[in-house]
Amino acid sequence: MRMVKYNKELLETFYYKMMKIRRFEETVERYFLDGEIPGFVHLYIGEEAIASGVCTSLTDEDYIASTHRGHGHTIAKGADLNQVMAEIFGKKTGSCKGKGGSMHIADFSVGMLGANGVVGGGFNLATGAALAIKVKKRTNVSVAFFGDGSSNRGTFHEALNMASAWKLPVIFVCENNQWASTTPYRTTTAVEDISIRAQGYNMPSKIVDGNDIFAVYEGFKEALEYVKAGNGPFFLEAKTYRIKGHFVGDPEMYRTKEEVNEIYVNNNPITRFEEEVLSEKLMTEEQLKKIREKVEIEIKEALNFALNSEYPDPSEIFDDLYV
Amino acid sequence: MRMVKYNKELLETFYYKMMKIRRFEETVERYFLDGEIPGFVHLYIGEEAIASGVCTSLTDEDYIASTHRGHGHTIAKGADLNQVMAEIFGKKTGSCKGKGGSMHIADFSVGMLGANGVVGGGFNLATGAALAIKVKKRTNVSVAFFGDGSSNRGTFHEALNMASAWKLPVIFVCENNQWASTTPYRTTTAVEDISIRAQGYNMPSKIVDGNDIFAVYEGFKEALEYVKAGNGPFFLEAKTYRIKGHFVGDPEMYRTKEEVNEIYVNNNPITRFEEEVLSEKLMTEEQLKKIREKVEIEIKEALNFALNSEYPDPSEIFDDLYV
Amino acid sequence: MREITFSQATLEAMAEEMRLDEDIIVMGEDIVRQGGIFGQFKGLPAEFGERIMDTPISETAIIGASVGAALAGLRPVADMHYADFLGVAMDEVFNQMAKIRYMFGGQTTVPMVIRAPDGLSLSAAAQHSQSIEAWFMNIPGLMVVTPSNPADAKGLLKSAIRDNNPVIYFENKILYKEKGPVPDGEYFVPIGKAKVAKEGSDITIVSYSIAMKKAYEVADLLAKDGINAEIIDLRTIVPYDKETILESVKKTHRLAIIHEAVKQGGVGSEIAAYVAEEAVEYLDAPIKRFGAPFTPVPFSPPLENAYRLNSEKIAKGLKDLF
Amino acid sequence: MREITFSQATLEAMAEEMRLDEDIIVMGEDIVRQGGIFGQFKGLPAEFGERIMDTPISETAIIGASVGAALAGLRPVADMHYADFLGVAMDEVFNQMAKIRYMFGGQTTVPMVIRAPDGLSLSAAAQHSQSIEAWFMNIPGLMVVTPSNPADAKGLLKSAIRDNNPVIYFENKILYKEKGPVPDGEYFVPIGKAKVAKEGSDITIVSYSIAMKKAYEVADLLAKDGINAEIIDLRTIVPYDKETILESVKKTHRLAIIHEAVKQGGVGSEIAAYVAEEAVEYLDAPIKRFGAPFTPVPFSPPLENAYRLNSEKIAKGLKDLF
Ligand SMILES: Cc1ncc(C[n+]2csc(CCOP(=O)(O)OP(=O)(O)O)c2C)c(N)n1
Ligand SMILES: Cc1ncc(C[n+]2csc(CCOP(=O)(O)OP(=O)(O)O)c2C)c(N)n1
Ligand SMILES: [Mg+2]
Ligand SMILES: [Mg+2]
């Protein structure tokens, strides 16, 4: 059985990270729909296995560059949940003091270099962070999370070529969730597997089931070994599906509820994990429940923290522009 | 023998185009070094077989987008030689009335959409022209000439993906001359064959010897057939070598004279053509000489035209900005 | 006159022009299936089929291919999704689109329109809230229009599409839902001509796009103090209408410029400088510019509010001129 | 004082700073093997080895990776080859580099420098001759410097490299070969501080970069008519030194701004507008701006000459103010 090699701690981490993201997103969705959260919110529901499977193998000294859909990455990388929640509510106590919001969530203290409102803005940032790692002869890695749609940006190409030409320690993790906003990715993307593009940069690649955290974890470990051996970058494509609308409030006129529900029911990374560990008797329902309870407490705490925090004072508008 | 299928007219065209470009470039080089030509000049010497082999199969209704190294493309596409020469000299009678110069040579009357001072600026222009062809249900094609170095620009990626996703009639012709200015292309480009990148766009590709005009011609014909059948774009990589410095006046501290001379002597597309047609007895020395004489007359005429033309009047600075 | 929204006005302009000219095509991200992120393309795909195209997320290709298509005989309209993404395609805009006609000696035209939704909306934050029109004042070869109401939105868009020069059409995101009177039948608003939106005698207020709302509010506040403001809606910022501005300033002897964009280096700087150059002797007071503070747009509502133009503050500043 | 070229002055700045701080790296196209297209990197690869890097022709990666490297502890200096190519990386410049500190609430700094060679050279034509610094006046989050001579070139580059804010360093291509006195030993020219390059009493001429040569020529021409011009070298255009400008104008009562960049929407517009806002009552004459005409840069020498600033014409224009 493939899972016997995973110890209890690791299994708990997987479940904990995924559940934390899921419950965080559900909470944010509710408060957004209630009009309590300003701006744009892009939810990571259904894709939790990717950020969780990847970030489990990273430390605070490793970097990630994220996307507009960045809550999952941020949480999986270990950012302070209270601050993340407060930021999304626009509070002074948020990680960005209320200046960023959902689309610009970041926590530099754990190597999370920021979400990005510009699709494809993260490729070069991650590449640059990897360059710094190499120049400083550190043993860390840098990870760029990105969507299928963003792989059509020129920055994808420039970053991947530079990373490979310079053999930088960066792992490009494609979250192929089948959609770029309202557009099925295949209608504007010339290839089925984004990872085939890695060949154009002399870069190894691997495709994994992005809704199977074990597959993501293993695939990423392979990437990590390759990259840490000094071979240069690696391309990991995780196939998944965007369960929610592109943003909260999206009328979703471009697909049917049935299509989405089908996947939510049958290919939900969290349900799949639960069923698998239970049927393999690697975890008990009791254990899972304990984790869920822990998550619930943390979410509630983060929510209270956010709700009870103050908004920034208008005068703070001029802070933090220049050093 | 591979050449028996080429009729006399075609062979003459090949030689004529290549010689015309070669002699044009040698003339421009001399006058530039004499200080009579302003601005930057990038010579096409050693790469004549590519533009000539490609443009022989095009009509004035087909489009080409060119590069900073654009004289060869312009001449091969059939632009008026007098006007091209006059433009490079900065004269009022030039194709761009002296506003463009070498780096912005263009002749829209023959479908030559312009050289480009921005490396990689042509990919999208050619793609757009192909879109127009498709929308207007014409049977023409569009060609983007580009260098190995430019294949690292984001525009390469965005154009090739769009062209393929939309199945546009465009042929991407890579002139892999081993150099991007002072930089051997392999030091900054992650792949040996640029054409492997075509796979990332689901696009067929072919590599040809760019110093063999027959190979270029055949390769391009294959591309043309594929594209004209409505299959979408094609990628043709022509391996060649930049004989001259990056620009006229380049100190060329990055390579030896021997390296260059080796290729100029042994892999000169024009010499190779001459030797081949003579040894195969497809053309006589007499025939070749007649073409050379014709070219000489045209070059001299163009030169005289340029030298005897007036510079634009300073007041023309405000012309041709807005319609 | 019938009242329709700004968004609908742009739709009418598009549909009318597309019916008349088959060479007009439209491309952008997410415009086919849901009609654009602000609904500004709704219904066009149904009527015009393949002439409305969803693009990859490839802004350089959207603009660059539009330029190429324009060179080959089409009249593309390219949607930028958000004006904030113009930076991605900036080379295509300023080194290709703007220069091709001139640098090739007038051999060709580049008849195309870039539609660029801009401005503050509700906490869209630093990368989705910008107004960057001032950059394009410094780039020869473009025309730049900035409608402030549905009637102008339609008339300027029709003019932009018909124009053989490349035009950037900045459309404010908040204005999309605003209703206003729009004439029946065909009409055009000429590019390059400002409108005296309100006549007045005491001060000239120059504005455009969403900030025109503030201009009216400010004029109302000033009226309470017996100050009669003249309001000029620029409509076009490149080329801007020097005559109308000068004429007004010569009459009122005072000038203020209001825009939502960052004040420093903004359109207001050019207008102020022009008047200080050509009509300083007519001025009875300093020229006042009002625009955004010199920071990126912050996310949190109280910060974003502090960032916005404030009519009271502007009116107060202007009263001090008297 | 010893005389060295502008280009050498930048080399000294780079070498001195790189010796002191291992975190400084340099990347750009064609800088290793031939020392940069203007020789401005000559010798650095020999001394600093892999810290000087030839990049692919990938401007978004050059800037974007520099930003990423800055976030991860380096202090990159990125060479743009020509300022004209900033458009390619414009999104990285204005949406990432300029905003990261602010939009993430001050969590980080982005200590990096973009070196951008700009300006007219001999018939380099429309895409290789531009001065686009004005755009960046409208983009909060950057610092922008524009040295006019070797001493400032060195002192400002050293300040830029030490600064923890992102800095764009515009260096004029013609100035590279110009010689001038440069102090021995370590010194810095502070960012944000203008210099009164020549004291005068009758008119203030504000300028920067290559146009400073014209400012001196114009002052000489005016002197023949008994007009004593004060010349201010801005040195930094973001943030520009408001105090020094105001002080001078309050003394001379006249103002002219001269730059090589396009006049419309240029840096001169902002300076003129600022003075018209803050000190119009001190002005005895219209504010004059001199810059390039509103066209792309033409190729042919007679056209390019007509495009250039002309000291005689400027002086004549200024005499009319008296
Ligand atoms: C440069 C740029 N272009 C367009 C957009 C608008 N936009 C935001 S998200 C998105 C779709 C992104 O798709 P993908 O990369 O697959 O990520 P996903 O949303 O599926 O996670 C688009 C087009 C943007 N933010 N930035
Ligand atoms: C966007 C951009 N970056 C850099 C340059 C400077 N430059 C001009 S030519 C050149 C090398 C181009 O190499 P390649 O594409 O292989 O063409 P080749 O010169 O070999 O024909 C460079 C870097 C430019 N003109 N435009
Ligand atoms: Mg997606
Ligand atoms: Mg090359």
Residues of chain A contacting B, Cβ within 8 Å: 152-158, 160-162, 164-165, 187-191, 196-197, 199-203
Taking one residue from A and the other from C, the number of pairs with CB-CB distance under 8 angstroms is: 122
- The architecture of the domain spanning B8-310 is 3-Layer(aba) Sandwich (3.40)
Point out which residues pair with D113 in neighbouring strands: D77, D167
> φ and ψ at B231, to 5 degrees?
-85, -10
Taking one residue from B and the other from D, the number of pairs with CB-CB distance under 8 angstroms is: 121
Residues D292 and D143 reside in one and the same domain: no
Interface partners of A (3+ CB pairs, < 8 Å)? B, C, D
Q: How far is C42 from chain B (nearest CA, A)?
A: 22
Alpha helices in A34-121 (DSSP H): 48-55, 71-76, 81-88
Task: Enumerate the domain spans of chain A.
Answer: 8-310
User: What integer is the mean pLDDT of B37-60?
Assistant: 98
By the 8 A CB rule, do D74 and D25 touch?
yes
Radius of gyration from C-alpha coordinates of chain B: 19
* Ligand sitting nearest the alpha carbon of B154: 2
Q: How far is B167 from chain A (nearest CA, A)?
A: 9
How far is it, in rounded angstroms, from Cα B68 to Cα B120?
A: 9
**Nearest-CA neighbor of D11 among D237, D171, D174, D195?**
D171
By the 8 A CB rule, do D170 and D210 touch?
no
Q: Ligand 1 test: best mutation among A181, A185, A189, A197, most atoms within 8 Å of CB?
A: A181
> φ and ψ at D198, to 5 degrees?
-150, 130
- Of all helices (H) and strands (E), which one includes residue C249? helix C242-252
Q: How far is A235 from chain D (nearest CA, A)?
A: 18
Which of A4-13, A110-119, C244-253, C260-269 shows the lowest per-residue confidence on average (mean pLDDT)?
Answer: A4-13
Interface of D with C in 101-140 (CB under 8 A): 102-103, 125-127, 132, 134-140
How far is it, in rounded angstroms, from Cα B307 to Cα B90?
A: 10
pLDDT for res D281: 95
Closest Cβ–Cβ partner in C54, C296, C307 for A188: C54
Point out which residues pair with C114 in neighbouring strands: C78, C168
- Of all helices (H) and strands (E), which one includes residue B209? strand B205-209
* Ligand sitting nearest the alpha carbon of A178: 3
Q: Does A317 touch chain C (CB under 8 A)?
A: yes
Cis peptide before A269 (omega within 30 of 0): no
Residue B47 Cβ < 6 Å to ligand 2 = no
Q: Which residues span the domain enclosing C19?
A: 3-181
Point out which residues pair with A183 in neighbouring strands: A180
Q: How far is B236 from chain A (nearest CA, A)?
A: 15
Burial class (CB in 10 A: 0-12, 13-18, 19+), A26: middle
Question: Which 8-state DSSP code applies to residue B54?
Answer: H
How far separated are the first and last CA of chain D, in Å rounded? 38
For ligand 4, the distance from its centroid to the CA atom of residue B246, given in whole angstroms, is 9
Please name the residue whose Cα sits nearest to atom 17 of ligand 2: B147
> What share of chain C has pLDDT > 70, as a percent?
100
Residues D309 and D174 reside in one and the same domain: no
Count CB atoms within 10 A of the CB of residue D195: 18
Nearest CA in chain C to D291: C138
Amino acid identity, position B105: I
User: Considering C150, C181, C212, which residue would you say is the last residue of a domain?
Assistant: C181
pLDDT for res A301: 98
pLDDT for res B5: 83
How far separated are the first and last CA of chain B, in Å rounded? 55
Number of residues that make up chain A: 323
By the 8 A CB rule, do C143 and D294 touch?
no
> φ and ψ at A206, to 5 degrees?
-150, 145
A185: confidence class by pLDDT, cuts 50, 70, 90: very high
Looking up tokens 């057939």, which residue turns up? B225
Q: Across the interface, do C286 and D264 touch by the CB < 8 Å criterion?
A: no
Residue B244 Cβ < 6 Å to ligand 2 = no
Which of B5-9, C103-107, C219-223, D87-91 shows the lowest per-residue confidence on average (mean pLDDT)?
Answer: B5-9
How far is it, in rounded angstroms, from Cα D74 to Cα D53?
A: 14
Please name the residue whose Cα sits nearest to atom 5 of ligand 1: A119
Q: Across the interface, do D124 and B318 touch by the CB < 8 Å criterion?
A: no
The alpha carbon dihedral of D53, D56, D60, D64 has a sign of negative
Tell me the CA distances in angstroms from C39 to C44, C81, C101, C292, one per residue in order. Answer: 10, 11, 33, 27
Residues C160 and C214 reside in one and the same domain: no
How far is it, in rounded angstroms, from Cα B298 to Cα B292?
A: 10
User: What integer is the mean pLDDT of A167-172?
Assistant: 98
User: Considering D181, D210, D230, which residue would you say is the last residue of a domain?
Assistant: D181
In a domain, C297, yes or no: yes
Residues C37 and C135 reside in one and the same domain: yes
Residues D312 and D226 reside in one and the same domain: yes
Residues C13 and C117 reside in one and the same domain: yes
| CATH number where C91 lies | 3.40.50.970
Residues C147 and C103 reside in one and the same domain: yes
pLDDT for res D189: 98
In a domain, D77, yes or no: yes
User: What integer is the mean pLDDT of A118-142?
Assistant: 98
Residues D146 and D210 reside in one and the same domain: no
Q: Tell me: pLDDT of B1 over 50.
A: no
Atom of ligand 2 nearest to the CA of B246: 19
C253 a catalytic residue: no
Neighbours of ion ligand 4 (CB under 5 A): B 147-149, 177, 179-180
Closest Cβ–Cβ partner in D25, D104, D109 for A106: D104
Q: Does D102 touch chain A (CB under 8 A)?
A: yes
Q: Across the interface, do B126 and C68 touch by the CB < 8 Å criterion?
A: yes
The alpha carbon dihedral of B310, B316, B321, B323 has a sign of negative
User: What integer is the mean pLDDT of D69-95?
Assistant: 98
Q: Tell me: pLDDT of B147 over 90.
A: yes
Taking one residue from A and the other from B, the number of pairs with CB-CB distance under 8 angstroms is: 74
Radius of gyration from C-alpha coordinates of chain C: 19
pLDDT for res C1: 86
The alpha carbon dihedral of A189, A191, A192, A194 has a sign of negative
Q: Across the interface, do D272 and C268 touch by the CB < 8 Å criterion?
A: no
By the 8 A CB rule, do B204 and B177 touch?
no
Q: Does A108 touch chain C (CB under 8 A)?
A: no
| Sheet with D288-292, edge to edge strand ranges | D195-198, D229-233, D203-207, D255-262, D288-292
Asked whether the whole model's pTM tops 0.95, one would answer yes
Q: Across the interface, do D273 and C272 touch by the CB < 8 Å criterion?
A: yes
Q: Across the interface, do B152 and D125 touch by the CB < 8 Å criterion?
A: no
- Dig out the tokens for C126 from the structure: 């630093």
Closest Cβ–Cβ partner in B100, B118, B188 for D299: B100
Residues D205 and D127 reside in one and the same domain: no
Q: How far is A182 from chain C (nearest CA, A)?
A: 6
3-state helix, strand, coil in chain B (%, to 5): 50, 10, 35
**Nearest-CA neighbor of A105 among A73, A135, A76?**
A73
Atom of ligand 1 nearest to the CA of A147: 15
Q: Which chain A residues are within 8 Å of C299, Cβ to Cβ? A: 38-39, 90, 96, 98-101, 104
How far is it, in rounded angstroms, from Cα A278 to Cα A275?
A: 5
Residue D254 Cβ < 6 Å to ligand 2 = no
pLDDT for res B74: 98
By the 8 A CB rule, do D56 and B189 touch?
yes
Active site residues of D: 128
Q: Which residues of chain C have pLDDT under 70?
A: none
- DSSP annotation string for A158-205: HHHHHHHHTT--EEEEEEE-SEETTEEHHHH-S-S-GGGGGGGGT--E
In a domain, D118, yes or no: yes
Residue B245 Cβ < 6 Å to ligand 2 = no
Please name the residue whose Cα sits nearest to atom 22 of ligand 1: A181
Helix axes A8-33, A285-308, angle to 10 degrees: 40
Residues C121 and C59 reside in one and the same domain: yes
User: What integer is the mean pLDDT of B214-231?
Assistant: 98
By the 8 A CB rule, do C103 and C68 touch?
no
Interface partners of B (3+ CB pairs, < 8 Å)? A, C, D
Interface of D with B in 55-74 (CB under 8 A): 55-60
- DSSP annotation string for A260-298: HHHHHHHS-HHHHHHHHHHHTTSS-HHHHHHHHHHHHHH
CB-based contacts of B81: which residues, under 8 Å, 6+ apart?
A: B20, B24, B75, B298, B299, B301, B302
By the 8 A CB rule, do D57 and D80 touch?
no
Q: Across the interface, do C34 and A182 touch by the CB < 8 Å criterion?
A: yes
**Pocket-forming residues, ligand 1, beta carbon under 6 Å:** A 67-69, 117-120, 147-150, 177, 179-181, 242, 246; C 29, 57, 59, 81, 85, 88
Residues D217 and D290 reside in one and the same domain: yes
Q: How many domains does chain D have?
A: 2
In a domain, C189, yes or no: no
User: Considering D148, D181, D214, which residue would you say is the last residue of a domain?
Assistant: D181
Q: Which chain A residues are within 8 Å of D164, Cβ to Cβ? A: 323
User: What integer is the mean pLDDT of B212-234?
Assistant: 98
Q: Tell me: pLDDT of A1 over 60.
A: no
